[in-house]
Structure 1
Amino acid sequence: MSTLLLAADTAGYTLPTTWRALTKTGYFLGLSGTIGGLVTYATTVRPTLRRTPDTDDASLLRHRSSVWFAWSGVVLLVAGYFQLAARVARNGRGMPFGHALAPRPIWQFLRAPADDGTWIAQGTLFLVQNLVLLATAILLMTLFTRAARRRVDPVALTALPLALAVTLIGAVPATVPLKADEVLDLVLTQTHIISGTVWLGGLALLSVLAGARRRLSPDAGLLWADLWRRFSLVAMICVAAVVVSGLWMSWKHVGAVSQLWTTGYGLALLVKINLVLGMVTAGAFNQFWLMPRMAQARRTGENASLLHLTLRHFPKVVWGEVALGLAVLVVVPFLSGSARKEAGGAPAEPSAGVYTAGLALALALAVSLYATARASDALSRRTPTPDPA
């Protein structure tokens, strides 16, 4: 945080107001809980639980998932309201944030006519976005009731596309993009947001579910080994998407490596990069050390060791990743403006060479992740049986 405060002294950079920082961080926290939790449930939790649908372990995890979704609906609703008020406060000449919380200025903002040259009013887009957000939150909050919790699967699968629509609708431009890099900006920014929220929200959901370990059966290690295995694939895809989209956005806003420590935007980005690298390092530890030992214990029938690895060792590392991810959300509001502008440089100009280099990096990253998965699999066949103690 001291690095971010140092950014305040950087020429051309303005620290966000407290209300702006809190509302933006809260909004992404709400998206992480809903999008990340729902995607993880659909791709990881639900397929695993369907293999043993009638066990007490599956029932407990399904119940805890429904409670997570119900509260994530509450967080999304509150965070979405404050985020909308923040937009109103920043609109036009601006107004005090406290005044922007009132219904009247919010309604005036949402019903403002379209500007010249736009195909739709910006307020109309935000109106649609927040109506979808409201529907998503209400649907998830029905899981507070016992009747809805018995149908958590259809509720979660219905809420998933709605939650994704919340961020996608908000990214729709009021003017039609005319350049390829403008379209690419929109696509990769949403890729960055969705993959980041899935990564963080998925880690948080599984960590909370693992907190029920004292109420799980001695055979729960088999179930959790499958959960961690499935999510490791989801996490690797998210890491790839975050890196590729992050590189593009960094190139757009940072013109030279030295701008990472000579501009306010660059300092904030440097903090974020280090936090993300910490998350990747923790993930690599899971992939190369814990996952192989879990696979070995599973093959040899060491259930006690498997339970210890999946519900004690693994969640400890994952909670560390969650803490780093939350720190990333705190840093996000400080990424305002552009290091290129602060340094007085020219805007980024995409070219065929830039696109080719980006494609090559994406392919190289895909190959490296495939090699990572194969290496982890190879280690699982060679690692000796772990000591459950």
Structure 2
Amino acid sequence: MTLPAPARRTRLTAVLSGLLLLVVMWPAAAFGHASPIGSTPADGQVLTSPPDQMTVTFTEPVTLGGTGNAVLDATGEPSPATFSVSGRVLTIRPEQPLPRGSHVVTWRVVSADSHPVTGGFTFAVGEATPGAIGVPDSQAERELSVVRTTVDALRYAGVLGLAGLVVFSLFIVPSAVRRQPLVARRTRGATYGFAGLAVVSTLLLAPLTATWESGRTLASAWGVDAWRDGLTSAAGVAVLVVVLGAALAVAGRRRRPVVAAVGVALAVASLLPVGHTRSYGPASLVLAADLVHVSAAALWWGGLVGLAIVLAAGSALRVADRATAIARFSAVAGLVLVALAAAGIVLYWRIADSLPALWQTGYGRAVLVKALLLVPVVAVAAWNRFVLVRRLTGREAGAATALLRRTVTFELIVVAGVLVATGVLVGQTPPPRADTVVTGVPTVQRLELDLDDAHRVTVVVSPARRGTNAIQVSLTDREGAAVDVPDAPRLQLGLEEAGVGALNRTLTRTRAGHWQATADLPLAGAWRVSVAVRIDRFEEPVVSGEVQIP
């Protein structure tokens, strides 16, 4: 018996409510893809003495990558050094003084959206070495990238196919079509197939992602370390969510629609823990757009598979029942395509915000390929909706049904290509947004301040531009030897011309006589930097200087 419209709406509301609840409850992440905004020493800088430490500052907090972090001399030989991350600052401390000549620092960190970010810079002590090596290429191994992209495309095919097919079966087709033995058997087989594909591909993606983030080779992806790192990360959360979602969707797809609805919501939500949308904001807008995007894609991909099953049933279905199922899906498909396009535009705007990046970057080209693939599919879908569907119950019903089978097959093939492009897109690093790009060569501003007759305070601000800056403070005697004190100096920042003052920043000791802090300098102007140092029990002199932030 066909359920009345209110009952179908209740089921659909359950699915949408479940998805919305998952998005609202999902923990938010930092907003802004990690990009380096400066280093100390600056790239190409020549120092008069070996540095005690080097730093790289990023636009957002990062974690240290497992490989790809090294300090190399002019011949490419590694120099012992310790790499550590505190918030947005990567600190490199040589274990012994660096010799005269050129040096290269290469680094690999992981952004909040799980994407590895690599880079490096060169500097020299005393003078540059002729013919010194440059920053080595640290691109991920091609084989690993290809395998990971393939598995990610299969994950999208499985998760979206499972969710869309269950929704198609529960809410779109009439019960007479859903219960027809041939349709029911094929739908059950496709549902099991999508569920298995979703679980297996998501599981395999966990060690592959961990290996990709750490910069290791494909061969190491199947080792114990890769599995442990992957399953204890956000990718591991996705595995748990998709397993539970697939189990509930399969178990409840026939007689327990609420259970199936929860399963569909969980399956779609498994795509959210990892990806670009986890590191861009505003959170409510980006996550809502992402939810609409993947939900619309699920209804389209899974719905097309369900429609192909209905069309393949042939004479086993009554003409009127088949026509009703096709007409219902056709009506939904129009709304789905509009939602898919609108959400995609919003996501690209928040992630890239650059029209030229569509053809100038790998990420943009993947988006462009997706969009171009959709053009013929939209045209075919429109023709189906406004031409073929009207012929399904007339004298041309047989010919119209046969033609519709071919057009649906065409749509399935092209949408499969879109899923491949999606796998490529997830693996690409988005271009920096215009509001986070730092133009020009990063600079370093250095203040040499006399604390008293016996001590000097040195303050180094990098990259000395609006946004996040690393601040190093050191205390030395007149001969340049480090002087340690029991209490860390107190650091204050202010911009008098803008009425900004008394911004206290905590300095963290890095070694004897050296401290560091991270400070956000959001406005241009002459920032006053004040440092108070407690020399002894009774004295705490204060010195100040100005740094220009362009």
Task: Give the match for residue 354 of structure 1.
Answer: none
Q: Rg larger in 1 or in 2?
A: 2
Name 1:197's counterpart in structure 2.
298
Question: 2:249, 2:263 within 8 Å by CA — same for their partners in 1?
Answer: no
The Cα of 1:139 is off from its aligned counterpart by 5.6
Residue aligned with 2:429, SS:
coil
> For residue 145 of structure 1, what is the aligned residue in structure 2?
none
The residue that corresponds to 2:243 in the other structure is 134
Change in Cα spacing, 1:36 to 1:98, as seen in structure 2 (3 Å) is: farther
Looking at secondary structure, tell me which structure has more helix per residue.
1
Of all paired residues, the percent bearing the same amino acid is: 20
Which AA in structure 1 matches 2:326? W
Q: How does 1:1-389 map to 2 (within 5 A)?
A: 17-45=145-173, 48-50=174-176, 58-91=180-213, 93-102=214-223, 105-111=226-232, 123=233, 126-138=235-247, 153-154=254-255, 158-172=259-273, 181-213=282-314, 216=316, 220-294=318-392, 297=394, 302=395, 305-309=396-400, 311-335=401-425, 336-340=428-432, 345-347=434-436
Deviations along 1:217-252, one digit per CA (max 9) or x if unpaired, are 5xx221111111111122122112111111112223
Give the Å deviation of 1:313. Answer: 1.6
Q: Can you list the C-alpha shifts for 1:148-188, whole angstroms capped at 9, x where unaligned? A: xxx861267633421321332552589xx999623211221
CA 1:71/1:256 → structure 2, altered by over 3 Å: closer, same or farther?
A: closer
CA RMSD of aligned residues (A): 3.3
* Structure 1 unaligned blocks of 5 or more: 1-11, 112-122, 143-150, 349-389
**Is residue 30–residue 76 contact of structure 1 (8 Å, CA) maintained in 2?**
yes
Cα–Cα, structure 1 residues 281 and 42, in superposed 2: closer, same or farther, change >3 Å? Answer: same
Distance 2:379 2:139 in 1: 31
Instruction: Give the length in aligned residue pairs.
Output: 294
Partners of 1:179 and 1:32 in 2: CA distance? 23
> Normalized against structure 1, the TM-score is what?
0.66
In structure 2, give the amino acid aligned to 1:49.
S
Q: CA deviation at 1:132?
A: 3.4
1:347–1:233 distance in 2 versus 1, CA, 3 Å: farther
In structure 2, stretches of 5+ residues that fail to align are 1-137, 438-550
Deviates more, 1:165-174 or 1:16-25: 165-174
> How far apart, in 1, do the equivalents of 2:279 and 2:201 lie?
33
- Matches of 1:131 and 1:256, distance apart in 2: 36
The structural deviation recorded for 1:98 is: 4.0
Higher relative contact order (CA 8 A, sep 6+): 1
- Partners of 1:43 and 1:141 lie apart in 2 by 15
SS in 2 for 1:338: coil
Q: Distance in 1 between matches of 2:362 and 2:274?
A: 27
Shift in Å, 1:106: 2.3
CA distance in structure 2 between the aligned counterparts of 1:228 and 1:72, rounded to whole angstroms: 22
In 1, distance between residues paired with 2:353 and 2:238?
34
Q: Does the C-alpha gap of structure 1 residues 164 and 84 become closer, same or farther in structure 2, counting only changes over 3 Å? A: farther
Deviation at 1:32, TM superposition (A): 2.3
Partner Cα distance (2:274, 2:392) in 1? 47
**TM-score, length-scaled by structure 2:** 0.48
